[in-house]
Structure 1
Amino acid sequence: MSSASPENSLEPTPLVAPAVPGAGDDKETYLKLQIENDPLDILRQLELVQWYESNGQFSEMDVVYEKLHKRFPLYSALWVIQLKGNLQRDQFTEVETLLNECLSGASANNDLDLWMTYLDYVRRKNNLITGGQEARAIVIKAFDLVMQKCAVFEPLSAKFWSDYLQFLESWKPANKFEQQERIDLLRKLYKVMLTTPFDSLERMWKKYTQWEQETSNLNARKFIGELSGEYMKARSLYQEWSNATSGLRRISPMNLSTCNKNNIAQYNEDDIIDVEQLQTWLDWIQWEKENKLTLPEETLKERITYVYGQAVQYMVFCPEIWYDYVMYLADAPIEDRIRILSSALLANPSSPSLTFKLGECYELENNLPMLETTYQTTTDYIFSHFKILKGNQETDPVILSKHKEKLTFIYCIYMNTMKRLSGLAAARQVFGKCRKLKGNLSHAIYIENAYLESRNSNDNNKTAMKVLELGLKYFKEEGEYILKYMNFLTMLNKDSNIKTLFETSVDKIVDPVQLKLIYKKMISYESKFGSLNNVYSLESRFFERFPEENLIETFTDRYEIQNENYIKKLELAYMLENDQMAMIGTFSMNGNSKKRAMKTSNHMSPRKRMSRSSQEVPDAIVEMLKVLPKRQYFSNVILDPESLINFLVDQVEIPEDRS
């Protein structure tokens, strides 16, 4: 994927009114409208795929999959679901095309489930009964490819090793030569497998020692002894890895019908990130970087890259993990970083950090057109999505405010970047676009442009002052804008302008908190640069409006220097303690501020919630357990309860109780 490839960007989201299902709406139309409104809703798109599949509309189904792969090219679970469906329908030509697309080239995925699906295809295409030795050789070659590409890096690879082992064990040699070849292949497989930290390692070791003794009692001790040291190290490392990644959730759907919110990544407008999961992924990556396996440098890079590939799948909507991945590739060709960042922005199209980082990469390449395209694509997406949210009366005002703030912030950085790279005229072009978006941007763009003009225009700040006057038309009731405007005028020493701004604005500010700050700002200004009589006059007006305010606290604010209240610090320290307690109280009550930063126990995985419940076992169940036969009577495990519980939690979505 080249840096200028059209595949790296998507068209802005179309403006579609929120769809409400009614009696006359069919499901297909409803789902399509929902997807247009929110192209990041993977589950909704898979629901449409299921609908097409149930109606036999396979070409329409493929179109939806194609859109999913375009937006989430490195999300292997989506490829696996489509491949399994095609294999089930014996569509081998389509399977070959998809495998070539997802396992090679710019969008190459490296995921064990995906490679196992590839193995299923190879084994079905190469029937051992009809293909004989040639078919077996092809399948073995495929197993070896998967082993080298992926399985040796994957700690949860028990199924792969078990399948490969069973495949070789099921071989019935026709002669002594084939028998020896089979033994050599098995021993070679065991050697790689038992030096790899993975689940079921101990079980496979027991199986290996038994096999060696059955194969050659004379040589068994020799071969087992040669391998035992590396096996012990691998077993210890697996346990260490298991401890380091405790609680990590890596769940993928078994097929299309089992897709649900427990096994498919979900985007939310609140930007809620499961911080515990993120930290666990970062812990795993750090563990790999310490090279506990003492791998050669090139192999270590491949292993760490594999883990990052896994992390960006399960945390696909987390910009930090993508950024961390790109920073790991700092010494790689810049094209690799651009490719990863392009995929990251497709999944996180409103991310400031990813937008800025991709912009930096294009700047290093002196590719100004793609840098502008990057910023424009992000701002177009946020603006389009903002308009959709605005049209929905149920949208949380906090989310609307956040989108407006994010759009403004990115335009500010875009404007400054264009000034730095192409001059003041280019920055003014960006600001010109922003002026057309009035009502959809915050006041920050006017403040930022005023400072930019002040630093770069040789007109004695005339342009900067005009910009701020223009902003006053739209934000005259916003105390925060007035405060920033006053700060700007203070910097320019515009005494008369400051007083005029204060007097014309003070009766228009609705927010009492901002109004207090404006009064205190003006009192402080007069205290430093005006007259004491003016200070007393302002204080009188201030206390008339806010009689509950502390007299001495307002007095101490007047004597702040360098943004620090030294009277409180040196003489009235107890007031500082009160201020800190007030801030803590405000934070704890502030509109879900903490909830928006991370998931709380309410977002805990179902398995953890289940384990914390402490319901008593009903008497009827206790009586039934008493009459059941003891486990000693059963030599083999008939039902693995843990596997059953995992299946129910991860693959089955239990409807919520609506009573």
Structure 2
Amino acid sequence: MNTKEKGLTTGPWSLTDQGQLAELKLKNKPYDLDSWETLIKEAQTSALIRGRMLFEKLVERFPTCGRFWRIYIEQEMRQQNYEEVEQLFQRCLLNVLSLDLWRCYIGYIKDTKRAQDGYREKLVQAYEFALDHIGFDPCSGGIWLEYCSFVKSGEVQGTYAETQKVTAVRKIFQRALGVPLISIEQVWKEYNIFEQEVDEVLAKKLADEYLRQYATMKRCSKEYDSFSRQLNKLSPAIPPMGTTQEHTQLQLWKRYLTWEKSNPTRTEDKTLLAKKVMFGYKQCLLVYGHHPDIWYEAVSYLENASKSANDRGDNTLAKQFEEDAREMYSTAITNVMKGNLLINFSFADFEEWHGNSEAVTGIYESLLKVEEIDCTLVYIQFMKSARRTGGIKTARSVFKRAREDPRCGWQVYVAAALMEYYCSRDKNITFKIFELGMKKHGDEPGYVLAYLDYLMHQTDDNNTRVLYERVLSSMPVESTQEIWEKFMDFESSVGDLTGLIKVEKRRGVAMKDELKGNSTVLLVDRFRYLDLFPCSNTELLSMGYPVKDKSGSVGLYSDQQGSSGRDWLLARPDLNQMMPYKPSAAKGVGMNAVPGGTFPLPTACATMLLQIPPPDCYKGPFVQVDELLTLLEKVDLKQSSSTDHSAVSSTTAGKKRTAAQDQDGKDDDKNQSIPQNDIYRARQQKRVHMATT
């Protein structure tokens, strides 16, 4: 590596501000696809060496993404680095069954081998190589048709050669008709045209022979297309994120895999069925290779297929399926599942089941070299496996290594001690291991509780009490909550009331800061048993005894409830009433406008606004609200009140006089002449006259 290349590896790779920002983001989020896309665009326009460095990091992070491999290869092809291109194909083709990547491979053969001798033979080999690996893909119909067209276009001389060419094309078509291709109708049409051109009589016979197979594949193609349209086959494999989209895609993939396992083509060839199912799993793992359940399901299918073949007496096929399962495990733990404990443990059990003890040891040894994982569980499973394969002495040697490893936790001491107790039946060794662990992990509440459980099951009351006193006198108070609870349970079960009350008082003194004078909670702990309490949940909460939900344990103190246990009394916002905020530049009708966006109005207000006419229906006049309020502020209410009172009095008196005058003048009104145009008064006078007569 020259000086220029060394400089590129030590500092930031990107030369742009946007690219350097993406690099900084990738340090915290190494699978951030947007940042990688930014760097890919820069790499495609960079110098060869700089671009190659970025692409190597890219395919190292996403080794199963066919799109990223194709971009890398096309970058090298543009520079005519054909030797490098072929090395890249060797690295990725067999492991990445991506249709686009294999199309790129065929295109490379066409472009670079055309001028060489034996070009047609090399291209035929490329097509065969590609279809052997991706020919089961329902979307590979284009490659099948290209292959048929290429073979048909070959010029041959002589009847024998022509017959050989026709036979070769016919076999390709018939192989394609055995796959539920999306373009199966076009393949069938092209096949019929081909046979008609060769021999019409034979064409009719072959069409009748393959018609049923075509109908089956057409049905399967439609079934596949019904749920595969939403399948995302191009996304890079990233660790599980728990998103809704991820869950939906996983369900679609599992539906597809279940469909493949159901043998929709009704083939009787078990090997062919297994190839189709495993092709589906490999396609799924290109996108969800970080999900251990997909790997395990794939291997389990192969193991079941091996067992079924063995039951049928086909030992050769059973051995083949077994080797395929072993290869699948090896592929997993050497790539994205390298540090996954579940798959490594499953692989170790697989090898142990088949009697390969050396392979089992190699798996655990390789796993212990991975620095990113917690090796405690690895040592525990290694001990158990070593005991099964090599006996208790072999397991003890693994435990010795675990004690010397500073990364190992206290759980390995508990596992080793209980293994000695249940397997060798030697209580002295068990006791020594527990005491050895107390020297190193005596301040771990979990370890102390495990040790206490062992002693209590041995009915060794004296040593149990000694251990309680020893731990409670040396451990910090904030770490002794569960130990005090277990001590009270112990005294309640095997001691007398005097001893129980003494322990209760000592607990109250030791944890007085946490109890804050609330001694009733100690009484509750005295009488509770498992998840049974002497009070209702409401009563417990009222006295400051926090109770967790059914999914959690019940204890005296909880970080979520606070040290006082009365946080439940505090008012909490009702998050169900939160309204969605919608950024908007314009203010919509019926929306509560705020700077930068709008909030929906309450349901009642929104319903009322929908029922009344919209604002544009009112043309005016419009009240000047500010001026109206200013005018109301200037009104003297006291003066206005006295004036209104006098006005009301004079008005009342005036009304009385008017009423009297009206009563006196009723008779006169009868004799008054009525205007000619007053129809209302004429009718009224007529009714009065008719009533009196």
Question: Which band: TM-score by shorter chain?
Answer: 0.5 to 0.7
Candidates 268, 272, 290, aligned match of 1:317: 290
Q: Deviations over 1:109-161 (max 9, x none)?
A: 6553443233223323443x887xx644553454344334422x112224424
> Given the superposition, is the C-alpha separation of residues 433 and 323 from structure 1 closer, same or farther in structure 2, using an over 3 Å criterion?
same
The answer to whether the 8 A contact 1:477-1:509 is kept is yes
Is the 2:383–2:396 Cα contact (8 Å) retained in structure 1?
A: yes
Tell me how far 1:223 sits from its aligned partner: 7.2
Q: Deviations over 1:516-568 (max 9, x none)?
A: 4323322222222221222233344456644376577535534x6xxx85x88
Q: Give yes or no for contact 1:72–1:343 (8 Å, CA) kept in 2.
A: no
1:632 is aligned to none
Identify the residue that residue 46 of structure 2 maps to in structure 1.
54
1:323-402 matches, within 5 Å, as 323-330=296-303, 331=306, 332-333=318-319, 334-346=322-334, 347-364=336-353, 366-381=355-370, 384-385=371-372
Q: How does 1:485-524 map to 2 (within 5 A)?
A: 485-506=451-472, 515-524=480-489
Structure-2 residue corresponding to 1:454 = 421
| Gap regions ≥5 residues in structure 2 | 1-6, 307-317, 561-580, 587-693
Q: Please say if residues 479 and 518 of structure 1, whose CA atoms lie closer than 8 Å, have aligned partners that are also in contact.
A: yes
In 1, Cα distance between the equivalents of 2:393 and 2:32? 41
Q: Which moved more, 1:329-338 or 1:209-218?
A: 209-218
Structure 1 unaligned residues grouped into runs of 5+: 1-20, 252-262, 386-402, 592-612, 619-659
- Paired-residue identity, %: 22
Residue 221 of structure 2, aligned match among 235, 238, 246: 238
Equivalent position to 2:13, from 27, 30, 39: 27
List aligned pairs for 1:421-570, cutoff 5 A.
421-438=389-406, 440-456=407-423, 460-461=427-428, 463-506=429-472, 515-542=480-507, 545=511, 546=515, 547=518, 554-558=525-529
After superposition, where does 1:171-210 map in structure 2 within 5 Å? Answer: 171=153, 191-193=174-176, 196-201=179-184
Report whether the alignment pairs 1:90 with 2:80: yes
Distance 2:28 2:368 in 1: 16
Which amino acid is the alignment partner of residue 358 of structure 1? F
Preserved CA contact (<8 Å) 1:77 1:114? yes
Moved more, 280-289 or 449-458: 449-458
SS in 2 for 1:27: coil
Aligned residues: 522
- State how far apart, in whole Å, the 1-side matches of 2:106 and 2:10 are: 46
1:520–1:557 Cα contact (<8 Å) kept:
no
Deviates more, 1:490-499 or 1:277-286: 277-286
Task: Assess if the C-alpha contact under 8 Å between 2:236 and 2:286 holds in 1.
Answer: no
Report the Cα distance in structure 1 between the residues aligned to 2:453 and 2:192, rounded to whole angstroms.
78
Residues 245 and 283 in structure 1, CA contact (< 8 A), matched pair in contact too: no
Q: Which deviations, in whole Å up to 9, do the C-alpha atoms of 1:181-220 show, x marking residues without a partner?
A: 8887766655544553233445666777888899999999
Change (3 A) 1:614 1:168: farther
Give the alignment's TM-score, normalised by structure 1. Answer: 0.63
Distance in 2 (alpha carbons) for counterparts of 1:68 and 1:210: 44
Q: Distance in 2 between matches of 1:590 and 1:155?
A: 55
Cα 1:470–1:321 change in 2 (3 A) is same
Cα distance in structure 2, aligned partners of 1:362 and 1:523: 47
| Residues in 2 aligned to 1:442 and 1:201: alpha-carbon distance in whole angstroms | 59
Q: Distance in 2 between matches of 1:339 and 1:218?
A: 48
Distance 1:126 1:614 in 2: 58
CA distance in 2, matches of 1:442, 1:482: 13
In the superposition, relative to structure 1, how do residues 467 and 72 fare at CA in structure 2: closer, same or farther (>3 Å)? Answer: farther
> CA 1:242–1:441 in 2, change beyond 3 Å: closer, same or farther?
farther
Which is bigger in relative contact order (C-alpha 8 A, separation at least 6)?
Answer: 1
Tell me the distance in 1 between the aligned counterparts of 2:150 and 2:454.
75
Q: Deviations over 1:573-596 (max 9, x none)?
A: 9999x9997135899x999xxxxx
Q: Give the Cα–Cα distance (whole angstroms) in 2 for the partners of residues 504 and 270 of structure 1.
A: 45
Cα contact 1:45–1:64 (8 A) shared by 2 = no
Query: Shift in Å at residue 86 of structure 1?
Result: 4.1
Per-residue CA deviations over 1:303-333 (Å, capped at 9, x if unaligned) read: 1121222233222222222222222222254
Q: For the aligned residues, what is the CA RMSD?
A: 5.4
Alignment of 1:419 with 2:419, yes or no, is no
The answer to whether the 8 A contact 2:239-2:291 is kept is no
Q: Is the 8 A contact 2:489 2:526 kept in 1?
A: no
Query: CA separation of 1:369/1:583 partners in 2, compared to 1, >3 Å: closer, same or farther?
Result: same
After superposition, what is the alpha-carbon deviation per residue over 1:411-461, rounded to whole angstroms, capped at 9, x for unaligned?
1111222233334443333333333334x3332112112212334557642
* Mapped partners of 1:526, 1:430: distance in 2: 38
- Which residue does 2:110 correspond to in 1? 123
Q: What residue number does 1:657 align with?
A: none
TM-score, normalised by the number of residues in structure 2: 0.60
1:590-629 correspondence runs (5 A): none
Once the two structures are superposed, what CA deviation does each residue of 1:607-637 show, in whole Å capped at 9, x if it has no partner?
xxxxxx9999x9xxxxxxxxxxxxxxxxxxx
| Bigger Rg over Cα | 2
The code of the aligned residue for 1:530 comes to G
Q: Deviations over 1:463-519 (max 9, x none)?
A: 43333233334434432222112101112222122222222333665686x744323
Task: Give the residue type in structure 2 aligned to 1:146.
Answer: A
Q: 8 Å contact 1:350–1:379 — kept in the other structure?
A: no
Q: 3-state SS of the aligned residue for 1:583?
A: coil
Q: Which residue does 2:277 correspond to in 1?
A: 304
Q: Equivalent residue for 2:609?
A: none
Between stretches 494-503 and 293-302, larger displacement belongs to 494-503
Letter in 1 for 2:80: D
Q: Distance between the aligned counterparts of 1:285 and 1:148, measured in 2?
A: 20
How far, CA to CA, are the matches of 2:442 and 2:202 in structure 1?
Answer: 89
SS of residue in 1 equivalent to 2:182: coil
What is the letter of the counterpart of residue 143 of structure 1? Y
> 1-side partners of 2:193 and 2:8: how far apart?
66
